[in-house]
Amino acid sequence: MTVFDVYLHGQKAGKLTFDKRQRMTFEYDGMYCMNHQKPIAFSMPVPVPPLTKIYTDEIVLPFIENLFPEGEIDQKIRVQNKIADGDFKKLVTLMGRDVAGAISILNEDETPESTTQIEPPLNTKELSHLLLETNRTPYNLTNQNGRRLSLAGAQNKLPITIVNEEIFLSGGQPSTHILKPTPSRKEYEQLVYNEYFCMRLCSALGINTAKVALIEVYDEDDNESDCLCVTRYDRDTQNKNTQRIHQEDFCQLTGHLSSQKYDHDNGMDFPDLITFIRENCQVPIQNIDQCVNLFIFNIIIGNCDAHAKNYSFLHNPPNKLKLAPAYDIVCTKVFEELDTNLAMGVNGEYQLTNITKEDIAALANDIGIRNDYLTKKFKDIANRIQHRADELIQEFEDGDYYPNTLQHVKLIRACIRDNIRVLREAGIV
């Protein structure tokens, strides 16, 4: 057996155990149960002493598996570190220190303080080199200085800490921001600007959205470029002291593996999401309104990858949840090779051109709101989004951007206009 200590908000919460067949169990620490009620996972509530409970692999696996990268990045990590498919024990060893939320998973002989390193600030060239390296060896691999960097997802990311406008590698302490470099594949060379544009547009419409900025770096030919800097909403920094805020994505909360993040892959659909919010969030009406707005926004901008892992919730004591700010918003339709089926369908329809007024009415019924209210929301966002997109385009035109970047964001605007035309012809807006 291999045993890890699991910390929540810096307090040892319990032990994660792997048997020889890679099956996991988790048991809360007795002292933690006496002094704390905050669970490490929604699916693993803290037992009331003197009761104890050992959570088995069926419950623990979805929570742990969703902490780590998926898809192509996961495979690259496993190949480069000689980690077999299904071996999460080695992934925990390699990457468990600074995952999403307030969790840290450490070896039994370690504490959160013992894994913290003092790092020098990075200048632009050092940061550029590090970001280029993440495209060769993913962001979360142990580098030559023993740092371990990790975040879940299918895209390369580098967690950093920013203090007084200086950038540091987190060195084991809670990171404050996430950097996303330009992908190495040429067909996605505008992805940074795509996400920056869409996130800014989402925020401009009044939807609670993670803050984003562009940081100037250099590409492999020493040309000026940008990486996307995302402020972590699961961190709270006051007086240079950063605290973790616990969160889980919708897959973790419902016990689904990352492979089930699309509703047509035995995953959750949008009505499932709204039902979960209604039953478990502290302020359900507000969170439902935010979630519906985001769902409509993703449809109109052409984000066909708004799956269950792109909806997360912050743990909001006492044992209630709050919908997290929107993140990972991209107009996927402008990339010709990507799937155009919606990640979460509308009444079983996944192609925008197939969605009818009757489907919208059925969706309204399924999520428990009035059809006229849902239709009004579609019309409101469709009416406001074009003006906001024009304003952002003007900002790009006034800025110092390469012509191909300006052309790309104009393609996003064209996609938005075309999607609104489709919805208008269907009588939805």
C-alpha distances (whole Å) from 338 to each of 75, 304, 326, 334, 335 are: 20, 9, 21, 8, 6
pLDDT interval class at 220 (50, 70, 90): confident
C-alpha distances (whole Å) from 160 to each of 171, 184, 314, 327, 338 are: 9, 21, 21, 17, 30
Among 109-123, 268-282, 406-420, name the one with the lowest average pLDDT: 109-123
Q: How many CB atoms lie within 10 A of CB 53?
A: 15
Contacts of 70 (CB under 8 A, 6+ apart): 152, 153, 154, 258, 259
pLDDT interval class at 71 (50, 70, 90): confident
- pLDDT of 135 strictly over 60: yes
Q: What residue type is 22 in one-letter code?
A: Q
Average pLDDT rounded to a whole number, residues 183-192:
91
Contacts of 414 (CB under 8 A, 6+ apart): none
Between the CA atoms of 357, 362, 364 and 368, what dihedral angle is there, to the nearest 10 degrees?
170
C-alpha distances (whole Å) from 379 to each of 12, 315, 318 are: 49, 33, 37
Residues 374-409 pLDDT 10s? 999 999 999 999 999 999 999 999 998 999 999 999
C-alpha distances (whole Å) from 288 to each of 262, 349, 365, 388 are: 20, 21, 14, 23
**Phi, psi torsion values for 91, nearest 5 degrees:** -65, -40
Give the pLDDT score at 429. Answer: 96
Residues 271-316 pLDDT 10s? 999 999 999 999 999 999 999 999 999 999 999 999 999 999 999 7
**Domains of the chain from N-terminus onward:** 2-115 (no CATH), 244-425 (1.10.1070)
Give the pLDDT score at 167. Answer: 93
